[in-house]
């Protein structure tokens, strides 16, 4: 945590059998992060892969994006759209209306009359670019991204995580997996 707050980056993987205390260790790290928070611009965000989301592309990143936006899936779509818009406006430059609608599509909160106009590999590439832009924006300040239960992650989220790991080379970010 001190290294991240000092401007460095790190990737930490916690591996162990069920019941060993991995979740408790993450909770202890979170408490330490919060207890030693020096500024209000530091971020902690968590996402947990679920076994039932293995067929849902970007399921893990949907959770992480919601966490970053300060929203939950239980909230109405208009609230999620508002919080997502605030996150994107604060953390990224050059995100246009089409890009915003693409992120809303990722979160399944798009308005019924919204059409993004792309699909398949083009949509996947655009989502990857946008997710990367948001995470790079957030990582301008010290940030910790927790990805829990990665063994349940679907391939699209795992691919994006691997791409985002390069952030540790030039940003104060901790990936806790």
Contacts of 43 (CB under 8 A, 6+ apart): 68, 138, 141, 142, 143, 144
Q: What is the pLDDT of residue 171?
A: 92
What is the torsion angle, in degrees rounded to the nearest 10, for the CA atoms of residue 79, residue 83, residue 85 and residue 89? Answer: 160
- pLDDT, one tens digit per residue, over 2-35 is 899 889 999 999 999 988 999 899 999 999 998 8
Helix (H) or strand (E) holding 30: helix 22-35
Buried b (16+ CB within 10 A) or exposed e, 120-151: eeebbebbbebbbbbbbbbbebbbbbbbbebe
Mean pLDDT (the chain, rounded): 82
- pLDDT, one tens digit per residue, over 38-82 is 666 788 999 888 777 777 777 787 888 888 888 888 888 888 888
147, β-bridge pairs: 47
Q: What is the pLDDT of residue 38?
A: 67
Residue pair 102/126 in contact (Cβ under 8 Å)? The answer is yes
Structure confidence at residue 118 as a pLDDT band (50, 70, 90)? low
Phi-psi region of 70 (alpha: psi -120 to 50; beta: other; left: phi over 0): left
Indicate yes or no: pTM above 0.85: no
What one-character DSSP code corresponds to residue 110?
-
Q: How far apart are CA 136 and CA 73, in angstroms?
A: 23
Q: What is the pLDDT of residue 9?
A: 95
The neighbour count for residue 75, using CB atoms within 10 Å, is 15
């Amino acid at each position: 945590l001190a290294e991240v707050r000092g401007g460095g980056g790190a990737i930490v993987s916690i591996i162990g059998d069920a019941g060993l205390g991995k979740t408790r260790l993450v909770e202890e790290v979170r408490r330490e992060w919060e207890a030693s928070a020096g500024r209000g611009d530091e971020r902690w965000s968590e996402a947990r892969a679920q076994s039932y989301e293995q067929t849902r592309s970007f399921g893990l990143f949907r959770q992480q994006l919601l966490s970053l936006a300060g929203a939950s899936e239980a909230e109405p779509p208009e609230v999620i759209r508002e919080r997502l818009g605030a996150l994107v406006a604060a953390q990224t430059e050059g995100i246009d209306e089409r890009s915003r609608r693409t992120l809303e599509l990722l979160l399944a909160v798009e308005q019924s009359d919204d059409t993004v106009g792309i699909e398949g590999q083009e949509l996947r590439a655009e989502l990857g670019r946008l997710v990367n832009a948001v995470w790079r924006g957030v990582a301008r300040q010290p940030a910790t991204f927790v990805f829990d239960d990665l063994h349940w992650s679907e391939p699209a989220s795992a691919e994006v995580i691997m791409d985002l790991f390069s952030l540790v080379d030039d940003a104060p970010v901790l990936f806790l997996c």
